[in-house]
Amino acid sequence: MSSPDPTACARCHDAKGRSCCEADEGEWLATLTRADVARIAAHLRRPEAFFCEEEWLTVEEARTYELHRPLFAGYFRQGPKRLTLKTAQGACVLLDRAKGCVLPAGARPTACRLYPFEPWPDGSFSVLAGGELPCLAVDESPDVPALQGALGLTPEALDSLAAQLREEVRDHGRPRSPRAP
How many domains does the chain divide into?
1
Q: Residue 55: in which H helix or E strand, if any?
A: strand 52-56
**What confidence tens digit (pLDDT) does each residue in 49-72 have?**
999 999 999 999 999 999 999 889
Residue 31 corresponds to which amino acid? T
- pLDDT digits over 128-150, tens only? 866 566 788 888 889 989 999 88
Residue 106 covered by a domain: yes
Rg (CA), the chain: 16
Which alpha helices (DSSP H) does 115-154 contain, by range?
136-140, 144-151
Position 181 in a domain: no
1 is a domain residue: no
In a domain, 161, yes or no: yes
The model carries a pTM of 0.88
Q: Which domain holds residue 80?
A: 6-172
178, part of any domain:
no
Write the burial class of residue 110 (CB in 10 Å: 0-12 exposed, 13-18 middle, 19+ buried): buried
Report the amino acid identity of residue 93: V
Residue 117 vs residues 77, 123, 135, 144, 162: alpha-carbon distances, Å: 24, 12, 11, 10, 10
On whether residue 179 sits in a domain, the answer given is no
Walk along the chain (181 residues) and give the pLDDT tens digit of each residue: 344 455 677 788 788 888 889 988 888 899 999 999 999 999 999 999 999 999 999 999 999 999 999 889 999 999 999 999 999 988 999 998 878 889 998 999 999 999 999 888 888 888 886 656 678 888 888 998 999 988 888 999 999 999 999 999 999 999 876 654 5
Residue 166 lies in a domain: yes
